[in-house]
Structure 1
Amino acid sequence: MTTLRVLPAEWASQSAVVLTWPHPGTDWATILDEAEPVFLEIAHSVLRFEHLVVSCEHVVRLQDLERDLNAWAAQHGLTGRVRAVPAPANDTWTRDHGPITVITNGEPTLLDFRFNAWGGKFPWEKDDALNRHLANFGVFGTTPMQAVDFVLEGGSIESDGEGTLMATSECLLTPTRNASMDRGAIEQLLSEMLGAQRILWLNHGYLAGDDTDSHIDTLARFCAPDHICYVACPDVADEHYSALAAMEEDLREFRQRDGKPYKLTALPWPDPVLDDEGERLPATYANFLIINGAVLVPVYDVPQDQDAIRIISQIFSDREIIPIRCRTLVKQHGSLHCVTMQIPEGVVAP
């Protein structure tokens, strides 16, 4: 029998969002009191619309968290939506170490790709094993999980839900991930595992302070099968101007299956967000999360936040727009989409 696979678009119906909670053993330790309220805001927003799976290495904190989240949910008439799992973790970037769910012959399959912390930049062994912990805990019910001997992060791919993927060559072709594979071999693997019938490669674009080698979810996102929104830098004096202008040209050259160009929407360029040493951090409005009935939008306490909310609300006019203050998250060089992973409908049960 022919195996038919597709990677659902993010706007497809979901059963849950997964969060890996920060704990004192992560790089969040020094700002844990500042970071946890952001994670709580994300958790509460998700619970309004679907289930939440949360894991944490710190068992006592997890027990308190499960109690608090269930109490919050009960106050809002949302009982039974929290699944809490004790599991070791190096960090909290669930987008990249979490499972990637494909639909195989009409049924969901969880793919457990290898994770090596963006080419071995940081410790990663606990994160690489986390999906199996979740599966062993019964979070995904009877949905099968398939291990894939290939390094791939969820933030490095975008799907239109119809067989087209978008990715950056800077990330997927870096030799610190899958050194033995060239572009053709990677395209073949993505075709077999994710049902990719074609891949749109962005060959330009980056953000200062980014550890991921230019993940696509920081730069350009599918909003619909015919629509892409992207980061644009209008300031010719900014260090990003040339690379992002070249990226925009890449996007203009992309074509849909029928040969038509994509509808393109530029997202605002936020004022620089700097760390304590004055280094620029990768603040981006492209790192939003689509969930059932809503879009969670990262904001950074800069003047462009309101424009970003307005533009994204126009793109997703049928969904509630929920701004999440992510200035703290970006201090660890990631944002809202980076700390979440959605799980399609039919996987996580109440």
Structure 2
Amino acid sequence: MHHSILPCDFALPAEWEPQSAIMLTWPHGGTDWKPYLRQITNTYLQLADIITRYEDLLVVTPILESTQRMLAEKLSEGQMSRVHLYEMDTNDTWARDHGPISMVSRGRHNSHVIPIHLLDFKFNGWGEKFAWKKDNAINLQLYYQGAFNAALENHQGFVLEGGSIESDGKGTLFTTSQCLLAPHRNQPFTRENIDSQLRNFFHVRNVVWLDHGNLVGDDTDGHIDTIVRVAPHDTLLYVGCDDAEDEQYEDFQALEKQLQKIFTYEGYPYRLLKLPMPDAIYDEGDRLTTDKNSKGDRLPATYANFLILNGAVIYPTYNQPEKDEEAKRQIQLAFPDRDVIGVDSLTIIRQHGSIHCLTMQLPEGAIK
């Protein structure tokens, strides 16, 4: 019997599918990290240490020698052998949003077909809020420096950040209307236009648009990876808010109601696991505080911004022991066979992101 291969069998994998490496874009004095560069560098070294226990690490940095030296001091020789360093100029460090988005072939091919395509969308600083041109050039430079064992697809005509989409690996894509319809991204496209483009880019059959759950202090216009994450077996981990005094209460109650009403492609309700809302954290310039009367900016702390590795999940903690522990329990329920490891993310949120935002996973076989 003759089986013909479908004209297109590339799919957007789920994050928990096998990975070759995690990409990090290293902080340096020319970024907004400058006031607390030592602290954020320590956070990066901690992430590098955990990642290289499970898989390879691809590092983009304009300060190659010092980055290599710091990593060599922190990591064992075996871990260091898993590090791939590439030198290039950068504006900032949010690899989730400037890194490539991977499509993986689900079929069996003859040897000349490259089974991984890396989609290089335009990154424009979340709607031209920040300098972005160097970061937007990273994927192409990595490709030309021979980092990838994959084809690079140019999608520079469309603005899309990795943090704004979530995939279940079987044809459903999650996103948020507030981000994908935000100013200076893809006007004048409507929601219908963008919906059909997402289906075309990622070969999905279902796009779930969430309309609620925007964290105060989030300058991405509401990335999905700060509020709702997909886990195996039709599970969604989402940020809940039970404190009626919190300014975000109504918005997150509405998110919860919306999640209770959506169904899988097969028509089943999702298994919902609620993550706690961290106590509000404010930035007063010289220090962070949880004092409700603070005049500082509220930071978008969230437990949803975790990173899935081969065999582990790294999740953000905020020096709030009870809530940190509750978040860990919920994530462990979703990923029972993985180690769940907390990393203090108080420095990361000073730049309005967390662990997932700093990282981008690359699928098995994607790097040289």
> Normalized against structure 1, the TM-score is what?
0.95
Q: Does the aligned pair in 1 maintain the 2:206–2:265 contact within 8 Å?
A: no
Q: Is contact 2:12-2:203 (8 Å) kept?
A: yes
Q: Does 1:84 align with 2:85?
A: yes
Matches of 1:78 and 1:25 in 2, distance apart? 28
Aligned equivalents of 1:314 and 1:253: distance in 2? 22
For 2:329 and 2:259, how far apart are their aligned partners in 1?
22
Equivalent position SS for 1:167: strand
CA distance in 1, matches of 2:188, 2:233: 32
1:102 aligned residue: 103
Whether the 8 Å contact between 1:55 and 1:84 is mirrored in structure 2 is yes
Q: AA paired with 2:34?
A: A
Question: Does residue 299 in structure 1 map to residue 289 in structure 2?
Answer: no
Deviation at 1:74, TM superposition (A): 3.6
Residue 239 of structure 1 deviates from its aligned partner by 0.4
Alpha-carbon shift at residue 136 of structure 1 (Å): 1.2
Aligned counterpart, 2:306: 288
Question: Match for residue 356 of structure 2?
Answer: 337
User: Residue 73 of structure 1: CA displacement?
Assistant: 4.1
Q: Deviations for 1:9-68, whole angstroms, at most 9, x for unmatched residues? A: 0000000000000111100011101110001111111000110010112x3xx2132244
Cα distance between partner residues in 1 of 2:273 and 2:76 = 39
Summarize deviations over 1:211-243 as a string: whole Å, max 9, x none.
Answer: 011100000000124110100000011100000
Residue 5 of structure 1: CA displacement?
Answer: 2.3
Question: For residue 264 of structure 1, what is the aligned residue in structure 2?
Answer: 272
Distance 1:105-1:224 versus aligned 2 partners, 3 A rule: closer
Separation (CA, whole Å) in 2 of partners of 1:45 and 1:239: 35
- SS of the residue corresponding to residue 315 of structure 2 reads strand
Q: Which residue of 1 aligns with 2:253?
A: 245
Q: Deviations over 1:109-155 (max 9, x none)?
A: 000000011111111111111111111111113x1101102000000
Per the alignment, residue 148 of structure 2 pairs with: 140
Match of 1:52 in 2: 57
Which consecutive unaligned segments of at least 5 residues does structure 2 have? 1-5, 108-114, 285-294
- Give the Cα separation in 1 of the matches to 2:196 and 2:116: 21
Is the CA contact 1:113–1:152 (under 8 Å) kept in the aligned structure 2? yes
Is residue 5–residue 193 contact of structure 1 (8 Å, CA) maintained in 2? no
In the alignment, does 2:327 pair up with 1:308?
Answer: yes
- Partner letter of residue 71 of structure 2? L
Question: For 1:26, what is the secondary structure of its paired residue?
Answer: coil
Aligned partners of 1:318 and 1:187: how far apart in 2? 34
CA distance in 2, matches of 1:101, 1:71: 32
Query: Judging changes above 3 Å, is the alpha-carbon distance between structure 1 residues 269 and 332 closer, same or farther for their aligned structure 2 residues?
Result: same
Q: Separation in 2 of the partners of 1:300 and 1:233?
A: 16
Alignment-derived partner of residue 207 in structure 1: 215
1:152 aligns with 2:157: no
Equivalent residue of 2:54, what SS? coil
Decide which of 298, 315, 337 is 1:318's aligned counterpart: 337
Q: Is contact 1:70-1:80 (8 Å) kept?
A: no
Which consecutive aligned stretches of 4+ in structure 1 deviate over 3 angstroms post-superposition? 70-75
Q: CA deviation at 1:190?
A: 1.1
Shift of 1:306: 1.3
Q: How big is the shift at 1:79?
A: 5.1
8 Å CA contact retained: 1:3, 1:105: no
Q: Is the 8 A contact 1:73 1:81 kept in 2?
A: no
Unaligned runs of 5+ in 1: none
CA 1:64–1:39: 2 relative to 1, 3 Å: same
Q: Which residue of the partner structure matches residue 120 of structure 1?
A: 128
Give the number of equivalent residue pairs.
344
What do the CA deviations read for 1:164-207 (whole angstroms, capped 9, x no partner)? Answer: 00000000112320002111221221111111211111011110
Cα 1:186–1:317, aligned 2, differ >3 Å: closer, same or farther? same
Residue 17 to residue 157, structure 1, CA distance change in 2 (3 Å): same
Q: CA deviation at 1:71?
A: 5.6
CA distance in 1, matches of 2:31, 2:242: 36
Quote how far apart the aligned CAs of 1:70 are. Answer: 4.3
- 2:67 corresponds, among 65, 68, 71, to 65
Letter in 2 for 1:35: I
Report the aligned-residue RMSD: 1.4
Cα separation, partners in 2 of 1:150 and 1:28, compared to 1, 3 Å = same
Partner residue, 2:111: none
| Counterpart-to-counterpart distance in 2, 1:219 and 1:201 | 13
Distance 2:79 2:127 in 1: 40
Give the secondary-structure state (helix, strand or coil) at the position aligned to 2:351: coil
Cα distance change, pair 164–225 in 1 and its aligned pair in 2 (3 A): farther
